[in-house]
Amino acid sequence: MAAVAPYAILLGALAAIGLLFASLGEPLFARVGTLGTRFTVDLEAAGMRIEPAHFAFVLAGVAVAAWVLLLLALHPSIPVALLMLAGCAGFGAYGGRVYLRRRRVKRIAAFSDQLEGALRTLAGGVRVGLGIRQALVLTSEQSREPSKTEFMRVVGLTSVGMGILDAFDQLAARMTNTETAVLARVVRVQAQTGGDLGSVLDGLAGTIRDRRRLRRRVRAITAQGRATAWLLGLLPLFVGGFMFTQGELRDAMLSTLIGQIMLAVSLALDALAIVSLVRITKIDP
């Protein structure tokens, strides 16, 4: 009977949570959907077509699943279980934001890599007599993702009545890199003062090429430092994995309150160390 008691308590807790969701389902879903609006900008910049509310529900489901797994593995007391629920909820929200930002950064980096060629195509279209909008259509047709989608979005915004300059400003707001911001300013200044837009775009493409070359050199120079940072950050995890092979140490860490607290503090400090070392070795040219 003693062995069955923890599972009975767990089933009772899950039933209570189910009843709570049934009674407070509608306001709870509305609240989660409202929280999902915070991910709208990141979802759009990351190129994900999922609705913000649906993304928030996915994060909530992951947090609850992680909490249930921790309950099954650790069998904590009720106060500790509530703290673990709060921690899982915070970790789910933070993890979702980190995931979106990583996808956003990756997409922006891909756009930056394609921007030089896209600008040269755009400059060629302007030189042969096309308007900026027609040249953008030509550029988007000859580009790959994500440049194709982003330039077509600029064309689409002009089709619904937005000015071309404002559409470029929105492009710079989505693709938050220096090169796109400079492109939006170049187009605006040229529209106000006149001049040879093709030559200006070619000059900007050359600047982007030089910046990419410098960025590759910086990454090559700092490669050893970044590898050392990851090695120092992951070393405690390997030591912890070895300790888990020792029965008494494993039971002390997983079955006692002080052990669980020390394990959580150790993981938090190690994550902080990895983030700090990576930031120290990161240099933006």
**Hey, what CATH class is 110-217 in?**
mainly alpha
Q: Are 183 and 172 in contact (CB under 8 A)?
A: yes
pLDDT for position 87: 81
How far is Cα 182 from Cα 194, in angstroms, rounded to an integer?
17
d(CA 283, CA 285): 6
Residue 271: is it exposed, middle or buried by C-beta count within 10 angstroms (0-12/13-18/19+)? exposed
- CA 110 to chain centroid, in Å, comes to 14
Q: 114: phi > 0 → left, psi -120 to 50 → alpha, else beta; which?
A: alpha
* Cβ-contact 143, 136 below 8 angstroms: no
Task: Please report the pLDDT score of residue 8 as a whole number.
Answer: 59
In the prediction, which pLDDT does 5 show?
Answer: 53
pLDDT at position 170, please? 85
Please tell me the predicted confidence (pLDDT) of residue 9. 58
Question: What's the pLDDT at 11?
Answer: 62
* Amino acid sitting at position 215: R
CA atoms of 83 and 278, how far apart (whole Å): 30
What lies within 8 Å, CB to CB, of 118 at 6+ separation is 139, 143, 147, 151
Residues 6+ apart with CB under 8 A from 228: 277
Question: CB count, 10 Å around CB of 201?
Answer: 25
For helices 78-127 and 197-221, angle between their N-to-C axes, nearest 10 degrees: 140
Residue with tokens 């933070």: 94
**Chain-centre distance for alpha carbon 25:** 29
What pLDDT is attached to residue 285? 52
pLDDT at residue 32, as a whole number: 53
Distance CA 196, CA 189 (A): 11
Counting as low any pLDDT under 70, the low residues of the chain are 1-39, 281-285
Residue 225 DSSP label:
H
pTM listed for this prediction: 0.61
What's the confidence (pLDDT) of residue 77? 76
| CB contact set of 60 (below 8 Å; sequence gap of 6+) | 32, 89, 92
